[in-house]
Amino acid sequence: MEAESVAELPRGAQWQYEPKWDGFRCLLVRNGQRVRMQSKGGRDLVRYFPEVASAALALSAGSFTLDGELIIQREDGYAFDALLQRIHPAASRVKRLAGETPARFMAFDLLRSAETDIAALPLAKRRPALEKFAQRHFKGTDVFALSPKTRNYAEAKSWLQRVEDGHDGVVAKRLDLAYCSGTRDGMQKIKLLRSADCVVGGFRYAEKKQGRRKVIGSLLLGLYDESGLLHHVGFTSAIKTSDRPGLTDKFEKIISKSSFTGKTPGGPSRWSTKRSAEWQPVRPIHVVEVCYDHVSGDRFRHGTKILRWRPDKKPSQCRMEQLRQTSAKSHRKTAMEPDAR
């Protein structure tokens, strides 16, 4: 189930609000002694979070499907960087980190319990089923927790004023809709920062060398349109000096003959400069989340800031629609009682 980015919280009796957790989205499926953990991009996460898989096998429920978020909490707060450290090929390192910084699973939806498939039920019925499931099966575990929810608009607004609780926004879900897998019809998200997940399609070298070598000065960002074309939409700025050698090593290894299949850097536009054509295309396999201020003409008006890398997402999930963030859509009234809060 995907979320549409909007600028304001929707309001009305048909909405339920939840924190938008700063972690890895995960569908966790248990069938007897088998556990599958699937990322938003379809990646198997079991090998990266073995402690969560083991905890799932220890639950008294033998068969279920949960939707939730993998998060890591330290003494000084939640740490997304610690999650990124888990996506590593060395099993020994993953095992060590699983002990040092164990992950938790914050459950916010129940799609199947035992042999009963409830994904087709409206959220108004799925949420009570999830709460009953958590009350029965989450006791005695530090790994699984029930994500908070509210139908109180004022409380949801207050969540947008703080980030210390491990969330970076609020998710609003339609209470009257089934689990809308693969669509954005039933869920909207409001983030504290305007950000977008982009594909790195190339880079430019910095004008000045670092030591005796050329290093990356900026990354070129792309998003896919509905027809599958990858369009250049902007660049990153202010890359830390200490990060440049590592990024250069990373992207020089995947330099290719082409990358962008739609609009390319250096094409006719008011942003063109003498250096616009001086860029290196790379294979579009890496996803990065960037923070931006304004969008104009389907591209970032200014340079963006790197927030974090997203190995949990597929490049194909980085779509142009992220740039068309609007106010929350109004939906038709439902038969639910008016929300007076």
**Rounded distance between C-alpha atoms, residue 236 and residue 254, angstroms:** 18
Place of tokens 């220890």: 58
**Distance set, CA 149 to CA 17, 19, 32, 51, 123 (Å):** 6, 7, 29, 26, 12
What count of residues does the chain have? 341
Using DSSP, state whether 56 is helix, strand or coil.
helix
User: What stretch of H or E contains 12?
Assistant: none
Buried b (16+ CB within 10 A) or exposed e, 179-190: bbeeeeebbbbb
Phi/psi at 26 (5° precision)? -150, 130
**Distance set, CA 277 to CA 204, 239, 251, 261, 273 (Å):** 9, 20, 18, 15, 8
Contact residues for 36 (Cβ-Cβ < 8 A; gap 6+): 27, 28, 29, 30, 44, 46
**Rounded distance between C-alpha atoms, residue 193 and residue 305, angstroms:** 11
Starting at the edge strand that comes first in sequence, how are the strands of the sheet with 15-21 ordered? 4-5, 187-191, 167-174, 15-21
Q: Residue 10 in contact with residue 334, Cβ under 8 Å?
A: no
**Rounded distance between C-alpha atoms, residue 301 and residue 295, angstroms:** 5
Phi/psi at 224 (5° precision)? -90, 140
Annotated catalytic residues are: 20
Place of tokens 């090998």: 47
Place of tokens 């042999």: 115
**Strands 187-191 and 4-5, how do they pair?**
parallel
